[in-house]
Amino acid sequence: MIQQSLETAWPADLPATDDRELLAAGRALLRADATGAGRAKWPDIFPDSDQVTPAFATARFRIQAAIARRAGSPDKAVVHLVWAGIDRGGTFTDLRITDWHFTRTTSKKGAATWTPQPRT
């Protein structure tokens, strides 16, 4: 239901390959942010990844819906995630919203990839 609402409100505007790449990265970033696990993969996003898991980390979480869309230009995108989690104290919260912004970068060999941007 949530997924359908997002897709209706914000029609798809990315090629399927970009959409899949962005959704996979957005989900992985959310998992790292919400649980503390896997943060070392993105040192620019999580500069303190070598420290212990933050106290606010959720013990369990699930993604309820996710979409990837352009963000103003062909080389910018946002992954919009709606998720639920249980913190370490046992408090459940659903319909949490997290947005991850990405910029398309091109390597010297011409390969384009989506790079997550630090939160400001």
Taking the C-alpha atoms of residue 91 and residue 73, their distance in angstroms, rounded to an integer, is: 39
C-beta separation of 37 from 53 below 8 A? yes
C-beta separation of 12 from 75 below 8 A? no
Residue type, 33: D
Instruction: Check pLDDT > 70 for residue 41.
Output: yes
Q: What integer is the mean pLDDT of 33-42? A: 86
What single DSSP character describes residue 77? E
The pLDDT of residue 64 is 95
The pLDDT of residue 47 is 83
Least confident window among 16-20, 91-95, 96-100 = 91-95
Q: Which residue has the higher pLDDT, 33 or 104?
A: 104
The pLDDT of residue 93 is 85
Name the band, by pLDDT with cuts 50, 70 and 90, for residue 50: low
C-beta separation of 99 from 6 below 8 A? no
User: pTM value?
Assistant: 0.87
Instruction: Check pLDDT > 70 for residue 52.
Output: no
